[in-house]
Every structure is written in C-alpha cells, then in structure tokens.
Structure 1
Amino acid sequence: MSTFSQFQLSSELQQAVSNMGFEEATPIQAKAIPIALTGKDVIGQAQTGTGKTTAFGLPMIEKVDRHDRSIQGIVLAPTRELAIQVAEELNRLGQVKGIRTLPIYGGQEISRQIRALKNKPQLIAATPGRLLDHISRRTIRLNQIQTVVLDEADEMLNMGFIEDIEKILDSIHSEYQTLLFSATMPERIRTLANKFMNDPEIVRVKAKTMTVSNIDQTYIEVREKQKFDVFCSLLDIQSPELAIVFGRTKKRVDELVEGLIKRGYSAEGIHGDLTQKKRDQVIRMFKQQRIDIMVATDVAARGLDISGVSHVYNFDIPQDPESYVHRIGRTGRAGKTGIAVTLVTPRELDHLKTIEQVTRKTIVRKPIPTIEDVVFGNKKATIQQIMNTIDEGDFQAYKKSAENLLEDIDSVTLLSACLKIMTKEPDHTPVVLTEVPPLHVKKKKRFSGGQGRRKDSRNNQKRYDDKPKYGNRKRSNRRRKNG
C-alpha cells in the first residue's frame, strides 16, 4: 500500500491531492510517480480508469515553474473529450500551486483558443491535429517544454495520429522528459518509444478481475445534493446488520458520521487523522455490534478483517476499479451473500462503466427509493424485531400488562398501535455535506456509418480533430539529446 505522503511531493501538491480526496495511490500511480519524479522517461502500461492522469500529472506539475508563463508541458490525447477531462484534472492538481492547464482540440473555434492562450497557461492538453495547427500558426511555441505525455498512445495509433505525434515531437527544441501511457504496446508504439524516449523505465499494471460472485451489486444514479437522503432511505429499507460506508475524503467521513448520528443511526468513522487507539476502539465497537455503521476512507479500511458485514455502501464512487473490488470484498464472506450499493452522480456514470469493464461484472441500476419504500422497509424491520423477541422469549414481564389491555382492546388494534409507535418514521433533519468533485473518465468516440475504426482514415481525423493539411511542410529530423 502506497500513500501520496510517501512520494515527498511539495506541500502545494500534497494539499491538492488531499483536497481531491486521494489518500492511497493506485498501482500505476505507486509505480510510475516515484520514477517520473526523478526525471526519467516512463512507459506505463495500464487500462483506462486506473488513475493514469494523476500518475503523470503530479510529476509534470511538480517540475513547472509557476513564475515562468511559457508552456512547459503538453499532454497529447486521442479525443477532445479526453483532452478536456485531462485538463480538468490537471487544473485541480495544480490549483494550489497556481499552475493552469488549457485544453486544445478540434471542433472549437481556433480564435477562441488563441485568446485563451494569451492568458499564458503553463500546460496544454491537446489533440494532435489541433496542436499542429497552432504550431504552424506560431500561436503555440514549444521551446520551453520540460515534459511530454502521450496518453492512450494505442488509441492515437488506432486513429491514425502517430505521424502527427512524430511531427510534434520533432518540433520541440528543448530537452524534455517523455511519459507514455498505453493499455497495449503494439509494434508501432514501441518504435515510437525507441525513437523519442531515452532509456525509458517500463511499469506494467494488470487490472484485477472480480473474484467474488456472491455479492449483489447495484447502483443508484443520484444528484450530489440528494445523496445523503437517498442513503438514509436505503438504510431504512435494507436494515443492514453491519454496514461499511466508504467516503472519498476524511472530511466526508466526519460529516457523514455527524449526519447519521443526527438522524438517529448508530455510526462511527475511521480515517487517517485518527489515533491508532481511537481507530482500534471504533473497529472493536463495530465487531461487537455496538454500532451498526462504520464510515471509512479507503486507506483506513485497508487490512480490515471483519466477519458479518452484510452491506457495503459506496457513498462516493472509488477512483479506480481495484479500489472498488477491495471495498465490496468486505461483504459476502465465508459463503454468505453480501450487498454492495454505489451512489453515482450523472457525471460519474462513465467511470462506473469503466469499473464494469475492468471487473467484468454488470452493476445493476436501481431507482431512487420512494417514501412508500422507506415506510414499508421500516415496518418490515419492526415486525422482524418483534418476531426475534418472541423467539428469544424475553417478554414475560410484559404479559400481565398485555392481558389487561386486551380486556378492552381487540388484538389487531392493539398490535397496530404498537407497530405505529415502534416503526421509525422517515427523518428529514437537515444535513449539509461538503461537495466532493466528481470523478471523470474518457468517453469513447464512435464513428458513424457502422464501419468501426479505420486506422488511417484522414476523413475521420478531420472530423474529430480538425486536422490541417501539411502537404509541403518540412519535417525536422531533430531529436532530443541526452541530458
């Protein structure tokens, strides 16, 4: 297990990572970041949704001089959607340090991008064709580049962009570090790496497949502001014996615990800021079922071995598929069936699909529960509580009072009144949570006409990247020298 605090990042980046709610590094981040921070070239082989943007973003931003307003790093991406999403994440990572990233892509008016470039961003996330257009217009100059990232290189190969990438790399006249990320490593990508990279270190991460089959996995699409009310409704309907709830940040965990207690639930939280003594105390209370709900961050829940967990709730969707597998694996143990529910905002649906693809498991969509569902669930829980009491036989002291009541009231009326008193009514005590930024994942572009992807289609490139023609443009054979 690697945490971001182990990477010896600057205080600004540590704060940015904390603000985004990241504590534990994903496998590709744990392997790639320490190497990239040394300045070495890196080839990272990992699937989409494994945290690659942070893996190359942190080392790139760490090197940027905030006082130098020239472009110091570029990320090349196959689609405009990915370029935009990479820029969004880099802006969050660079916010505390004051590093700005601008997305550059076809389909947007180039004059608008030229105006935006006058604000002097230090980083660019671009599609190859549009970046070449800016280079030819001299609206983007690459003479101060320190880092070049090739994101999803195999996708750029499939879309016929490798020649464009070579032209871009040939046009860079400074010494720079290259970070290449790709799910697969076809021969053409290896050739590109041999030509433009200096003795790269290769890191590989294989996505873990789902190994648990006895977990009922569902998700509910819900707006961020609705999350807590929907979550409380689920608790009332499902009446978990023992539940672990995962939040993305320490602050989120504290707020969830406070909100749950306000609404009458028995809950405690664990996260990295707690002392070991307090953490042990909460885990002991949970194991002894003195509390029903334990709220945790991913890091705090690592290594927990607690039997009898009936439900796992992802209040915040995890940042990568492997974390999802670890989370839900807390239930469904020892041959028992477990239930895992994930709350997903509309902007996170693509991230959920990535988790499904990597884990090769369908996560079933469920509707937002209604008030009627909640009341029914509470009634069901009350009836079960009564039946358990009957089975235990621990009610003899109340028999005389019951007999006296039955002299004047029929049994159905009496039992109905008891059910009304015992049944928990929906609680709408106001609870305000700090909003956690949604996670993003690339949206795949589809070509029209049902023809699938063509490797070197200039028409498709034009449509997706507004690719300019460079018929007589001289190609430089300049290569980066070893520094």
Structure 2
Amino acid sequence: MSNLRFSELGLSAEILKAVDKMGFEEASPIQTAAIPPIMAGEDIVGLSSTGSGKTAAFAIPMVEKIDPKMRKVQILVLCPTRELAVQVAEEVAKISLFKRGVHAVPIFGGQSYDRQFRALESGVQIVIGTPGRVIDHIERGTLRLDELKMLVLDEADRMLDMGFREDIERVLTQVPTEHQTLFFSATMPRQIEELIRKYSRNPKRIKIEAVAQNAPQVDQVYFEVERRSKIEVLTRIIDINDFRYGIVFCSTKVMVDELDEHLHARGYATERLHGDISQAQRTRVMDKFRRRGFEFLIATDVAARGLDVDDLEVVFNFDLPNDAEDYTHRIGRTGRAGKSGKAFTFVSGRELYSLQNMIRYGKLKIRREKIPSLDLVEEARENQFFEKLRSTLDAAEYRKQDRLIDRLLEQGYASTDIIAAVIHMTIGGEGDKKTAPPAQIDLPPEKADWKKKPFADKPKKQGKPDNAGRQNKSAFKTAKQKYDRPARTGREAGFVTLFFNVGRKQLVTPADIVGKVAGVTRLPADVVGAIDIHQRHTFADVREEHAELIIEKVNGIRIRGESACVALADPEQME
C-alpha cells in the first residue's frame, strides 16, 4: 500500500489544519493503514516499531471521534511509562489544537493527586495514563468510564514486560461492553494474543514490516547530538569532508524552511523542496540541482520521492525517517552505479531508541562516530587548501604577480609573511564564505568529556574564566570574521538604526544578527553596518533602502531561541 496524504484520509478541516501546522505532508505507513479502519469503528491490532508514527495513527482518529459537547471521559490511553504518557498527551494537544472543546490530561505516578483530581473534575474527554495510576483513580471514583468509546493500549508488549498484565485486565473489565479497542505493539508475544482474543472483536491486524536492504556502497554513520546543535554538526561534517553535492532530508516542511534559512546565512548554496513548492518551482529547482547549480537540496521525503539524480556525494538524515524502509530509500540516492557514497544520520533524545529499533529490525549497518571537533575542521580546511594550492603550482595555472610582490618586498615585508597574509585572506579571513561562529555542541551526559573536547567546552559561570574558555574564545574570533562588525560610535551615511529585542542575555553575537538578516532576506551581509549589543537588546545599522524589508522578514524569526521583534530605533533609546 502506498502512503496517502492526510487530505486523502477523510479528516476534518480542523485536523488537517493542525497536521499542516505540525509540518507533516504525508501519512506514514502505519497511519495510512490504521486511520481509515479506526475511523470506521473497527478494533485494531497494530504491529509497528517505535518511531513509525503510531501515536498519530491512533491520536488523529480518536480526536476526530470525540464529542466536544460531552464533558466526560470518552477515550482512555494506557502507556507503560510516565514519559510516554506525557509524549502522547503532547501529541494529542497538537492534533486537537483547532478542535474546540477537546481536553486531554496525562495521569501517572509521582505527580500531584490534587492536580489530577482538578483536571478530571473539569470534564476531560481524553485520559492518557499509566496502568497503576489509572486503576487508583478508578477505585477512588475520580475516573469514571461509563461513557468510554475507545481504549488504546500503546506499547502493549512493554506494559506486559513491566508486569502490568493484571492492571490492564482490571481496566479492561471496567469499560463498557460497547467500545473500540486498539492494541499497538512492536512485537506480538503470547500474552498479548491472549488479551486480544479475550477483549477485542474481530480486530483488523496491521503489520508494518521494518525490513530493509542495506546499500552496500554507502558508508553509514550516525551522531548522537542535541537538536539545537544539529546545524553546527551538519556544517562541520560538510566542511571536514569538503562535500559539494548532496541532499539533506527533514521530516517536516517547517524544518526544511528553517534549515534552508540557516544554511544560507552561513554561506552554503542551498535550495528547498517540499509539498508547498509549486510544480513550476520544483522543476526549476531540480533542473538547477542536476546541473550542480547549488550544493545542497533540503527536502522532505514526499518532495524528494522519485528524484532521478546521479553522483550524489552524501545524504544527510537531519531528522530520523519513519522506518528502516524509508531510511534505505533515502540513503540509496548516493553510492549508485558502483560508486561509493556517504550517509550521516543525526539523532537526539528518544530518537536514539527509534534508530536502534530500525537497526535491529531492518538489519542495518550504521556505526556511531564522535562529533568532529573544531580543530579537526580547521585541519581539514587547511589540508584542502594545501592540495588546491599545490595543484595550481604544479599546473602553473596562475598569473605572475612579480610587480606586486616586488613592491611588498621593497617595503621590507618578508616573503613568508606575504604568503601567510595571502593564505589568511583566502581561508581564514573575509574571503571565507562559511565562517559562522562555532556553536556549543551538547553531548550525551554519559559520553561527555568536557576538558578534552574543544568543541564542547563546559559552560562556566560568569566571572570564572578558565583556559578552556579562553581557548574557545580564541577559536570563536578566528571563525567569525565574515560576520564581525565594529561597535556603534555613530551612524554612517545611508544607514538607519534598527532595534532588536535580544542581547547579551540571549548570548547574541554580531554573527547572529548579520547571519539572520542575510539568511531570511537573501541580501548581502554588508547591508548590516555597525552593531551595538546590550544586555537585553541590540542596535544595528542597516542600509536605509533595505530597512523596511529587513523589519518585515526578520520579525518573528527566532534568534538564539527568542522570537525577534525588530523596529526602527527610537533616538531616545540610543542615548
């Protein structure tokens, strides 16, 4: 069965609007297979690995089936852990965002009873909880299931492994006879089969196979890194390998737009492709990509389906795909026709468990590697420049500059200093297009070695600088020169001053301001002049003819995690 778009699943306008806001274009295999029969009222047994999108597979139809006018519990979801209960509740909140009157609450052990009592008394329709706490509320009389329409057992195999069978059966005996039962599990042990036979009615069985063939010519690597550091890791890998032609896959349209913006700000040649791009624009982008008119295509799976592109150097999974099959489909775009290719996957938080499941069920061969340090990136850039310089010298493909060199020598400059200055201007100064300041990289706590990894210096409290901090500051100065700006001492002619609502408190640097302006407006970096950063705000001079465009485009864009508010500066503010 081919995946369907959400608009083809017969969903309401409110749900489609919420799904679109979440950035998803196409239903995953489990969602495509499960949503229609659940909407039709059938019992379901869904076999699908973690990370396949099964939460939305039951959350979307259950929100659709809620009667918002009836303030009684209509849906009960049982989860093995409090973390999963919270995750499901968050997903339900996003899906029900535009459906008025729908309320959900997670209940689990370790949380205040009073808070749960108040939530249940307020008239929620959806309860997501762990078996023990759900039984507790049933026995106290604070959770009544008289009007229950649907019972969902999420990760049923894990609940049984954790010894919840007795609690599950006690819940199942408390629900009305006429209700819909949904079992979702990664495996199907005998105990679950027994529960299915006893408590469900002719369930429809849906099994999403997580079997994939490895791409033999593709070198596959994954990095465990915090989400906020993914862009920095991506650019380091690109620079250290000198990649010039590849695809970066993201899971949502929103992430495609954001990543395209950030990479443009750092000087990489990119274009984006997702479901909101018109066919004419899509054709233009793909024709340009095949001609190598830019370096990296940032795309969703839907937009990239059916792409016929050869000789890709690399594929990046910026976001983890739904399953092993999608993973293999992505990375199979490199390493074709007997050539070798590379595939890099970034995982953060719970995604690591999803990746491990994909590796196990799909028999994938993906090895873990450490994030490359700034020192390795600088060394790689130097080596690349050295090889290009040597090739140019060997081929004698350059114009003699004897007159200019003689002038410098006559003024007393040493030949080695002249060469060093030229190299600095070429790879370490304003001529370098990819010199955004290095970001802090967050390693998993158990893997971190803060003293030995210059790319992940442990943050220190203010007033307590150390050698590692000075070393990182030095690296920052070397890498930020393109975006550096003088402090404001007076406005230049032809410039106006803009006010930004972010400053030192948000760790804002001149590179953040210049990079963001250049990235979202596609204007050259020199439209920004002098910058003056204060504790809670920043003044930046910009060319007067572009001021209106910059205010329009940058307003609302996130700078260092803060939604930007940009306006013409009040002269009194600058005094």
TM-score tier by shorter-chain length is: 0.7 to 0.9
Q: Distance in 2 between matches of 1:365 and 1:184?
A: 26
Q: Could you tell me how far 1:301 is from its partner in structure 2?
A: 1.1
Instruction: List aligned pairs for 1:87-166, cutoff 5 A.
Output: 87-98=89-100, 99-166=102-169
Match of 1:426 among 410, 432, 435: 435
Q: 1:372-411 deviations in whole A, cap 9, x for unaligned?
A: 33332332333344456568x582xx44436984897687
Choose from 307, 311, 320 the match for 2:310: 307
For residue 14 of structure 1, what is the aligned residue in structure 2? 16
Report the residue type matching 2:234 in the other structure: F
Pair 1:336 & 2:345 matched: no
Deviation at 1:111, TM superposition (A): 4.1
Deviation at 1:420, TM superposition (A): 2.7
1:234 and 1:434, CA in 2 relative to 1: closer, same or farther beyond 3 A? farther
Letter aligned with residue 165 of structure 2:
I
In structure 2, the residue matched to 1:63 is 65
SS at match of 1:378: helix
The 3-state SS of whatever aligns with 2:352 is: helix
- Which moves more between the two structures, 199-208 or 253-262? 253-262
- What is the identity, as a one-letter code, of the residue corresponding to 1:201? K
Partner of 2:77: 75
- CA displacement, residues 129-166 of structure 1 (integer Å, 9 cap, x when unaligned): 32122111111000111111122223333444334333
**Cα deviation code 1:358-381 (max 9, x no counterpart):** 334464444444433333233233
Q: Which residue of 1 aligns with 2:28?
A: 26
Match of 2:265 in 1: 262
Q: 1:102 to 1:7 in 2, by over 3 A?
A: same
Q: What is the Cα deviation at residue 45 of structure 1? A: 1.8
Q: Which amino acid letter does the alignment assign opposite residue 207 of structure 1?
A: A
Aligned-partner residue type, residue 436 of structure 2: D
| 1:271 CA displacement | 0.8
Please give the secondary structure, in 1, of the residue aligned with 2:188: coil
Q: 2:175 aligns with which of 166, 172, 189?
A: 172
Kindly provide the amino acid, as one letter, of the partner of residue 427 in structure 1: A
Give the C-alpha shift of residue 418 in structure 1.
4.0
- Structure-1 separation of matches of 2:289 and 2:155: 43
Instruction: Evaluate the alpha carbon distance shift between residue 258 and residue 110 of structure 1 in structure 2; reply closer, same or farther with a 3 A threshold.
Output: closer
Aligned counterpart in structure 1 of residue 288 of structure 2, from 285, 306, 310: 285
Contact 1:243 1:292 in 2 (8 A): yes
Percent identity between matched residues is 42
Q: CA deviation at 1:2?
A: 2.1
CA 276–73 in structure 1, closer or farther in 2 if over 3 Å, else same: same
Greater Cα offset, 24-33 or 424-433: 424-433
1:401 is matched with which residue? 401
Per-residue deviation, residues 251-273 of structure 1 (Å, max 9, x unmatched): 32223223322332211111111
Q: Does residue 193 of structure 2 align to residue 190 of structure 1?
A: yes
- State the SS of the aligned residue for 2:401: helix
Q: Which amino acid aligns with 2:42?
A: K
The one-letter code of the counterpart of 1:426 is: T
Q: In structure 2, list runs of 5 or more residues that go unmatched.
A: 438-510, 517-556, 562-575
Read off the aligned partner of 2:169 and give its amino acid letter: E
Distance of 1:101 and 1:197 partners within structure 2: 24
Secondary structure class of the residue paired with 2:152: strand
Q: Which ranges of structure 1 fall in alignment gaps of 5 or more residues? A: 438-483
Q: How far apart, CA to CA, are the structure 2 residues paired with 1:264 and 1:220?
A: 23
Return the TM-score normalized by structure 2: 0.68
- 8 Å contact from structure 2 (residues 46, 206) kept in 1: yes
Which residue number corresponds to residue 523 of structure 2?
Answer: none
SS class of match (1:150): strand
Instruction: Return the alpha-carbon distance in structure 2 between the equivalents of residues 9 and 389 of structure 1.
Output: 61
Q: 1:414 Cα shift?
A: 5.7
RMSD: 3.0
Q: Distance in 2 between matches of 1:59 and 1:14?
A: 12
User: What is the identity, as a one-letter code, of the residue corresponding to 2:78?
Assistant: L
1:61–1:390 Cα change, 3 Å? farther
What is aligned with 1:181?
A: 184
Residue 350 of structure 1 is matched in structure 2 by 353
* 1:234-260 Cα shifts (integer Å, max 9, x gaps): 322221131211223223222322332
Give the conservation status (yes or no) of the 8 Å contact 1:249–1:297: yes
Q: Distance in 2 between matches of 1:399 and 1:411?
A: 18
TM (norm. structure 1) is 0.80
Instruction: State the alpha-carbon separation in 1 of the partners of residues 353 and 21 from structure 2.
Output: 22
Q: How many residues align?
A: 433
